[in-house]
Chain A
Amino acid sequence: MKKIRLIGRLDIKGPNLIKGIHFEGLRIIGLPKKYAMQYYLDGIDELLYMDTVATLYGRNNLLDFVKEVVKDIFIPMTVGGGIRSVEDASKFLNAGADKVAINTAAVNKPQILQEISKRFGSQCLVISIEAKRINDNKWEVYTNNGREKTGLDVIEWAQKAVSLGAGEILLTSIDQDGTKKGFDLDLISNVKKDISVPIIASGGMGKKEHMISAVSFCDIDSIAIATALHKNIFSVKDLKKILISENFQVRHND
């Protein structure tokens, strides 16, 4: 029986938790700590914080936030958005993040993956890939929170990133993000084919069937959920109950 890892994804802009559709039309949802705390108490397995505008403005607001939440929330957290150097990664890891997620900086300078994994280990390095479908079995890598095309093929880039030291892949479908229309299962399956590191599927969760399809039909066990949790379509407890009823394992709440 497969055990499913549920990850709460919080996209953050300035002091606010926000969420858009296809990475656009960002709306303010509330204060991120309140949501993070709720998901923690409800038994989420991990939390993921993404600064949505860090790269765009070349700055990072998340550091203080991470230092704040780590005092009360004792589960793993990944931080992404605007991490451009080993020093940036170091700051977040020292502030309480367990993993850093990197997209734009890795596309611009792939060696950064080697540098970070050599220094801190692959286990703390997540390659964040924003994928947009081109045709039936081809996806393109985007950067800057879905704003810029790169010309890179998602499957090739995923393999290269892992060979350079990424220990996990956060795979977000731009086409599905925020739509509540389900994960891009072809994308997940195609990327997973030749990859041994864990893949976190992100983007599109709206119905319980979406989650069940992703973990049943793709060779993955980790799901990132944003809108469906923020809008309280499901609580973490609901999701675990659903998984158990479909014969999957989940972490028992403590």
Chain B
Amino acid sequence: MTNKSVTVIDLGIGNLFSIKSALEYCDFQVTVTFDQKIIEDSSLLVLPGDGAFNYAMSQVKKRGLFEVLKNINHSKKKLLGICVGMQILFDYGLEFEKTEGLGLIPGNVIPLPSSSVSGKKLTIPRIGWNPLIFSSYSNSWKGTLLENNSQLDEVYFIHSFMVNPLNNCNRLADYIYGNHRITAVVEKKGITGCQFHPEKSGKIGLKMLKKFLNMDL
């Protein structure tokens, strides 16, 4: 029995049981909740989410979590946002309507490009496995959840919108779609976001979760 624990924030959307299973597989005790107090008291948080940005944010507000998450104490907590849980870390999203996000990482969320660099129509949503590469601004993943992974490790993406970070220094990893660089992982002071699903990316994804859970604050 382990006493290491992680809190999964329940926005009522997305595949909570999968992320819970994957975190348990990493030998952590998992609490799935939207209780403000528990979330405030947890030092390790995972924010999963599927679906639309505006719906995710409406759930954040409906569950009374807007202030708690917006004012998260960087020095005392680590947070991992996954898919839409990553997207809502940004200032605003444009899915269905312009919606304010948590503003933890500067930037916005915009549609994936509809055609490749050479003009070929792209299949949207992008569903499938893609290799991760360093972003143009990163050349090491040391000290991040990707530390134990290598470039070209493949992970599972399923999305129609992508994050557009204002500051390139927040960009850790990209993937290539239709010759465009798409942001795959972002990081800012203890807050990490993955556009892909580490809990659905086989052993490679489990390695990232394990690293995230065991990283120093």
Evaluate contact between B159 and A74: CB separation under 8 angstroms: no
Evaluate contact between B200 and A168: CB separation under 8 angstroms: no
| B178 on the A face (CB < 8 A) | no
Evaluate contact between A74 and B52: CB separation under 8 angstroms: no
A: interface residue count bin: 20 to 34
Q: Which of B123, B160, B200 contacts A76 (CB 8 A)?
A: B200
| B153 on the A face (CB < 8 A) | yes
Q: What 1/0 flags go to B104-133 for Cβ under 8 Å of A?
A: 000000000010000001111101110000
| A124 on the B face (CB < 8 A) | yes
Residues of chain A with a CB closer than 8 A to B204's CB:
254
Residues of chain A with a CB closer than 8 A to B114's CB:
196
Quick one: closest A residue to B53, CB to CB?
A: A121
Quick one: closest B residue to A76, CB to CB?
A: B200
Evaluate contact between A74 and B25: CB separation under 8 angstroms: yes
Residues of chain A with a CB closer than 8 A to B128's CB:
3, 5, 45, 198, 221-222
Q: Is the contact region of chain A dominated by helix, strand, or loop, or is it mixed?
A: loop
CB distance from A163 to the nearest CB of B (A): 14
For chain B, residues 111 to 168, give those with C-beta under 8 angstroms from any C-beta of chain A.
114, 121-125, 127-129, 152-154, 156, 158-160
| A251 on the B face (CB < 8 A) | yes
Residues of chain A with a CB closer than 8 A to B199's CB:
74
| A95 on the B face (CB < 8 A) | yes
Evaluate contact between B129 and A123: CB separation under 8 angstroms: no
- Beyond A74-B199, A75-B202, whether A123 also contacts B127 by CB under 8 A is yes
Residues of chain A with a CB closer than 8 A to B160's CB:
122-123, 167
Residues of chain A with a CB closer than 8 A to B200's CB:
74-76, 98
| B201 on the A face (CB < 8 A) | yes
Evaluate contact between B205 and A120: CB separation under 8 angstroms: no
Evaluate contact between A67 and B17: CB separation under 8 angstroms: yes
Residues of chain B with a CB closer than 8 A to A167's CB:
125, 127, 160
- Beyond A197-B124, A198-B127, whether A121 also contacts B52 by CB under 8 A is yes
Residue pairs across A and B with Cβ atoms less than 8 A apart, 12 shown, are A5-B129, A45-B128, A67-B17, A70-B21, A74-B202, A74-B206, A93-B50, A96-B17, A120-B50, A221-B128, A251-B129, A254-B154
Pairs A-B, 5 closest by C-beta atoms: A121-B51, A96-B17, A251-B129, A254-B203, A254-B204
Q: Given A67-B17, A124-B51, A197-B125, 6 more contacts at CB 8 Å?
A: A74-B203, A75-B156, A76-B158, A94-B17, A96-B18, A123-B127
